Structure 1
């Protein structure tokens, strides 16, 4: 949004949550890469996903992180799975939490989906261990 006065309270709250979960570097890269074409989408996800859902008080960021990883794995959203596995460094979700979530994916969404997500999670966790995660 070009006009700072047009930023809703929900957008500002969403941006704070988005930065807390994904990290400033990730959000800054997304904002830098944004164009007039995708700016409305960036505003939508910041306000709706991060402001309306991730900022709700009923679940912790850890709980939301676990559910999000499972849903993204079940849907085969590989890049998003990797991004949210990286985000566990900020949400408090543990490797055991990721493993348990992906076991649920195997039973409720299928072994192939879980198997592929486990491969992605292992790669991302290895990068994180090596200090290469962005």
Structure 2
């Protein structure tokens, strides 16, 4: 990160929240693969998404997690759905919470979008269970 972004309070708060939600391993991997090309994007999402939106006190991380997964599923952003389903280990959103959110997706955004997201969630949960057992 460039010195200007790394020094802002919004960036520092964003990095703290991003790590709390996604985990150190994920954030470290994203940072280690950052290049000059995508550095501005990484700074933007750290400050705007994580330092502003996800850091707001109005909703809990659990609530934000459920809404985020539903929105990503409705939009068909499969990789992001998987990432945020994995993050539920840190946000407090239960599997039942995610199932309810995806039922809403089925009604308000379409059965195919929900069906795809359910498949992704099941795969992620299976991976998480296997990692716990290892």
Answer yes or no: same fold by TM over 0.5. Answer: yes
Which residue number corresponds to residue 111 of structure 1? 111
**Consecutive unaligned residues in structure 2, runs of 5 or more:** none
Kept in 1, the 8 Å contact 2:76–2:113? The answer is yes
Cα separation, 2, equivalents of 1:19 and 1:109: 30
Shift of 1:75: 0.3
Q: 1:106 to 1:3 in 2, by over 3 A?
A: same
Q: CA RMSD in A?
A: 1.2
Give the ranges of 4+ consecutive aligned residues of structure 1 lying more than 6 Å apart after TM superposition: none
Which residue number corresponds to residue 120 of structure 1? 120
**1:44 is paired with a residue of what secondary structure?**
helix
**Consecutive unaligned residues in structure 1, runs of 5 or more:** none
1:45-65 per-residue CA deviation (whole Å, 9 max, x = no partner) reads 000000110000000000000
Kept in 1, the 8 Å contact 2:10–2:51? The answer is yes
Cα separation, 2, equivalents of 1:5 and 1:112: 40
**1:58 is paired with a residue of what secondary structure?**
coil
Cα separation, 2, equivalents of 1:27 and 1:75: 23
Which residue number corresponds to residue 73 of structure 2? 73
- TM-score, normalised with respect to structure 2: 0.95
1:58-77 per-residue CA deviation (whole Å, 9 max, x = no partner) reads 00000000000000000000
Which residue number corresponds to residue 30 of structure 1? 30
Cα separation, 1, equivalents of 2:2 and 2:103: 44
1:12-46 per-residue CA deviation (whole Å, 9 max, x = no partner) reads 00000000000000000000000000000000000
Kept in 1, the 8 Å contact 2:5–2:11? The answer is no
Q: 1:5 to 1:55 in 2, by over 3 A?
A: closer
Q: 1:118 to 1:26 in 2, by over 3 A?
A: same
